Structure 1
Amino acid sequence: MSIAADQTQSWLDQHPGAPLAGAGASWLDSARANALALFERIGLPGVRDEQWRYTNLRALKSKLYQPAANSQSDWSLPESDHPRFVLVDGVYNAGLSNLEGVAKGVQFMPLDDAVADSRFDLETRFGSTLPAQQHGFSALNTAYCQGGYVLMLGAGATSKSPLEVLFLNSATDSTADASAISHTRNFIIADANSQCTVIERHQGTDGSVYLHNTITEIIAGDNAHIDHYKIQQDSCDAFHIGGVFIEQARSAQVKTHNLALGGLVARNDVRASLSGEGAHIEMNGLVFGRGRQHVDNHTEVVHAVPHCTSDEYYRSVLDDQSRSVFRGRIIVAQDAQQTNAEQQNNNLLLSAGAEADTKPQLEIYADDVQCSHGATVGQLDPKSLFYLNSRGIDTESARALLTFAFANEVIERIAIESVRDEMTQLIAGALLDGMEELL
């Protein structure tokens, strides 16, 4: 048996006895079996895979894993003014959740319950947004998903209050024999003319070592409006593999905000298929890397029909030995005339040891389109630093102000004031104690 085959079998051996969401549903059992067969064939990705060539998973693969313990650790959660859905180590925790105040026409429940509820039609929708070519982590997610949330908005339903989802990972410490692993699968299903904002928060206790493998599928009906935030603040020793996959019907408007602040290694895939005329996707992303953090963002927008628009704006701030990877791909099909697509990736290196790899891509098969892309990697402007110094601002504060201004281009795109203020405080506080007074 080859080394790759040994590793694949080793990963399968680490999952016996794991709790499975919706166990017993024949269609889901069949999907799990197919996913296992796929994983046995393709295994985990590696640097020889083009989509993963800049992300070395040696540290992730070298660890032993066991299903997360579904710990009931005492979590101190701040009060929230809006409905909150909490999963601890991948499993829904009713005691920490508060679903009061969910708007009329909005269903918000654990994956387990939704699998058994025909209203959600998960048999048809499960995996429908994922690309034809999946990687091994996606297959593992389907095979072993143990929990997640399902949010469904009926036609015309509007949730005026943001809906918050907390993924809390207590997991194991760095001295444990095996690290915890959890797989979560989530759905946002928005029928015609519905509207909602969802805030996903991914957090872990300090020093805990775990792998969280999570997928969110978003299905936006005609003229649906969805704002999706993913705030990733995992433990500095954690591994995060995430995907947000979107299918948009006619005139559907979706905004995604990917804020990567934590984790040792993080991979985020965001893919949108614009399948109805007039659909629009906005993708925003901010990476704030420190230490030896490695964040890999892959985005893909498929313009399948005419008269759709996309706007993509990702930025990275990298210090110490941190590294970011950005690979953005826009595909314009032959029939997708009158497409308007923009993509921009900018990276700021604060130290000699920081590194950014960026690869924007356009694949255009139509002739009546407006498409542009661009990427930059650079340092702080010496002239700007000199100007601030000449105005009496010390060098450390000047560097912090310029760095914050760079990151703030993404922060300003956050529509929710409380989240925008939170990101401002987090970034400013990390750059310089007391910097808030300078802003």
Structure 2
Amino acid sequence: MDYGLNLNRLDIPVNPYEVFKCDVPNMSTSLFFVVNDSFYKKELPKSNLPEGVVFSSLNDFAAEHPEVIEKYYAKLADNATDGTIAFNTTFVQDGVVLYVPKNVVVDKTIQLVNILRSDVNFMMNRRLLIILEDNAQARLLVCDHAMDPVHFLVTQVAEVYVGKNAQLDLYELEETHNNTVRVSNMFVNQEADSRLLLNNMTLHNGTTRNTTRVTLSGKGADTNVCGMAIADKSQHVDNNTFIDHAVPDCTSNELFKYVLDDSAVGAFAGTILVRPDAQRTSSQQTNRNLCVTRNARMYTQPQLEIYADDVRCSHGATVGQLDENALFYMRARGIAEKEARLLLMFAFVNEVIDTVRLDALKDRLHLLVEKRFRGELNKCQGCAICK
């Protein structure tokens, strides 16, 4: 299949601030846009970010702070390890940077909306660089939307640095369509006593492959990596994770859940590495999967590699269908079979939704997931472009 590529950096064909309005109740964010692979800066609103905090185009940031780019950019993502990373590095023309200096707390959630917009099949390559220095705190919500029914190919490489005693909550929400192929690679480095929450939620897609690598390089670091995928028709969702306990006294918790309907295919491969010096490690990995039909397929491979002797580690995976005893119990109490199935599916994924620390986003996800299971949701329906 042929894809177009915006090599000449043509003008963005839409003003996102005119066509997009996130109406999630009670959620106020500092809102920014990337249309295809271009950071939209013609009409940037007053974001009210604290002094010293930067959320901008990668090219603009590099021009003003070359020393920061030299220190952090392309240091975690190695072109030699993965062809898609090398491909992205070759063709990427810009990106997005979040920089939070030492001791700065960003109280307001930052929201980045990636809009796919084209009249022809289109390829875009995105780069995301997140830097939280020591004692910094921030929350970032990244939403992916597709406005047109053409074929899209998206590659994304994200590099995340969480400094000493810093805290980052990073939410990724994909709501594209069946003609979208998305390949994402994320690399995270955590320093001592840092805290990280990663939550990746796939509600609508075509083919998605997310690879996440977290390195706990400072004592006392804590990471929570969560994910939820809801797929039907012939959709495919693949999550690969690697958590590297490189030093002692760190904690990691991992939870991924899939609900697969029709002929959807899911895959999960998660590895936790505990190095010889990483004593007193505490790590838990859980992958639970629900195949609603006999044609749905799930492939799961949880792994533990432990080279230290003073650790508390566990991992496990399950693949199954709805509990017939629970269905019988609910039907015996007057609940219709279809409604009983929906309630069980919703309860199954609710554990992942509850890891979200933004109450407004959590409430919206409850609604979106319910509509998704009922077949009433094709897009987010929480913004103007989806109505």
Q: TM-score when scaled to structure 1?
A: 0.81
Instruction: Say whether 1:278 aligns with 2:216.
Output: no
Instruction: Say whether 1:335 aligns with 2:292.
Output: no
Residue 65 of structure 2 corresponds to which residue in structure 1?
A: 118
Contact kept, 8 Å, 1:166 with 1:201, in 2: the verdict is: yes
Residue 49 of structure 2 corresponds to which residue in structure 1?
A: 102
CA shift at 1:158, angstroms? Answer: 0.6
CA distance in 1, matches of 2:290, 2:67: 43
Q: Over the residues paired in the alignment, what is the CA RMSD in angstroms?
A: 1.8
Contact kept, 8 Å, 2:173 with 2:203, in 1: the verdict is: yes
One-letter amino acid matched to 1:309: T
Which residues of 2 match residues 57-68 of structure 1 at below 5 A? 63-68=1-6
Contact kept, 8 Å, 1:84 with 1:164, in 2: the verdict is: yes
CA distance in 2, matches of 1:314, 1:244: 16
Instruction: Say whether 1:72 aligns with 2:42.
Output: no
Which residues of 2 match residues 236-385 of structure 1 at below 5 A? 236-385=178-327
Indicate how the Cα distance of structure 1 residues 274 and 153 shifts in structure 2: closer, same or farther if over 3 A, else same: same
One-letter amino acid matched to 2:219: E
Work out the number of aligned pairs and report it.
368
CA shift at 1:434, angstroms? Answer: 9.0
Residue 87 of structure 2 corresponds to which residue in structure 1?
A: 140
- What is the DSSP-based 3-state SS (H/G/I as helix, E as strand, rest coil) of the residue aligned with 1:65? coil
CA shift at 1:81, angstroms? Answer: 2.4
More divergent stretch after superposition (309-318 vs 123-132): 123-132
The Cα offsets for residues 154-205 of structure 1, whole Å up to 9 and x where unpaired, read as: 1110111100011100124xxx4xx211111111100110000000111111
Contact kept, 8 Å, 2:79 with 2:85, in 1: the verdict is: no
The Cα offsets for residues 231-279 of structure 1, whole Å up to 9 and x where unpaired, read as: 0112221110112210011111111000012221100011100000000
Indicate how the Cα distance of structure 1 residues 70 and 216 shifts in structure 2: closer, same or farther if over 3 A, else same: farther
One-letter amino acid matched to 2:277: D
CA shift at 1:208, angstroms? Answer: 2.5
Alignment match of 1:184 (pick from 116, 119, 126): 126
CA distance in 2, matches of 1:349, 1:164: 33
Higher-helix-fraction structure:
1
Residue 46 of structure 1 corresponds to which residue in structure 2?
A: none
- What is the DSSP-based 3-state SS (H/G/I as helix, E as strand, rest coil) of the residue aligned with 1:370? strand
CA shift at 1:134, angstroms? Answer: 2.1
CA distance in 1, matches of 2:110, 2:363: 18
- What is the DSSP-based 3-state SS (H/G/I as helix, E as strand, rest coil) of the residue aligned with 2:299? strand
CA shift at 1:124, angstroms? Answer: 2.3
CA distance in 2, matches of 1:305, 1:370: 14
- What is the DSSP-based 3-state SS (H/G/I as helix, E as strand, rest coil) of the residue aligned with 1:122? helix
Residue 156 of structure 2 corresponds to which residue in structure 1?
A: 214
Indicate how the Cα distance of structure 1 residues 370 and 358 shifts in structure 2: closer, same or farther if over 3 A, else same: same
Contact kept, 8 Å, 1:70 with 1:90, in 2: the verdict is: no
CA distance in 2, matches of 1:84, 1:316: 29
Residue 414 of structure 1 corresponds to which residue in structure 2?
A: 356
CA shift at 1:229, angstroms? Answer: 0.4
CA distance in 1, matches of 2:78, 2:246: 14
Higher RCO (C-alpha 8 Å, min separation 6): 2
One-letter amino acid matched to 2:180: A
Residue 399 of structure 1 corresponds to which residue in structure 2?
A: 341
CA distance in 2, matches of 1:423, 1:106: 28
More divergent stretch after superposition (422-431 vs 390-399): 422-431
Instruction: Say whether 1:158 aligns with 2:105.
Output: yes
Contact kept, 8 Å, 2:253 with 2:283, in 1: the verdict is: yes
- What is the DSSP-based 3-state SS (H/G/I as helix, E as strand, rest coil) of the residue aligned with 2:204? coil
Higher-strand-fraction structure:
2
Which residues of structure 2 form unaligned runs of 5+?
378-387
One-letter amino acid matched to 1:85: F
CA shift at 1:110, angstroms? Answer: 0.7
Contact kept, 8 Å, 1:321 with 1:355, in 2: the verdict is: yes
The Cα offsets for residues 306-345 of structure 1, whole Å up to 9 and x where unpaired, read as: 0011000000001011111100000111111111110000
Indicate how the Cα distance of structure 1 residues 236 and 99 shifts in structure 2: closer, same or farther if over 3 A, else same: farther
- What is the DSSP-based 3-state SS (H/G/I as helix, E as strand, rest coil) of the residue aligned with 2:128? strand
Residue 75 of structure 2 corresponds to which residue in structure 1?
A: 128
CA shift at 1:221, angstroms? Answer: 0.6
Residue 29 of structure 2 corresponds to which residue in structure 1?
A: 82
CA distance in 2, matches of 1:361, 1:240: 25
Contact kept, 8 Å, 1:206 with 1:236, in 2: the verdict is: no
- What is the DSSP-based 3-state SS (H/G/I as helix, E as strand, rest coil) of the residue aligned with 1:140? helix
Contact kept, 8 Å, 1:282 with 1:311, in 2: the verdict is: yes
More divergent stretch after superposition (93-102 vs 285-294): 93-102
- What is the DSSP-based 3-state SS (H/G/I as helix, E as strand, rest coil) of the residue aligned with 1:387? helix
Indicate how the Cα distance of structure 1 residues 147 and 381 shifts in structure 2: closer, same or farther if over 3 A, else same: same
The Cα offsets for residues 404-436 of structure 1, whole Å up to 9 and x where unpaired, read as: 00011101111111211121111101222799x
One-letter amino acid matched to 2:146: G
Q: TM-score when scaled to structure 2?
A: 0.91
CA distance in 2, matches of 1:142, 1:114: 17
Contact kept, 8 Å, 2:116 with 2:148, in 1: the verdict is: no
- What is the DSSP-based 3-state SS (H/G/I as helix, E as strand, rest coil) of the residue aligned with 2:276? coil
One-letter amino acid matched to 1:260: T
Share of identical aligned residues, percent? Answer: 32
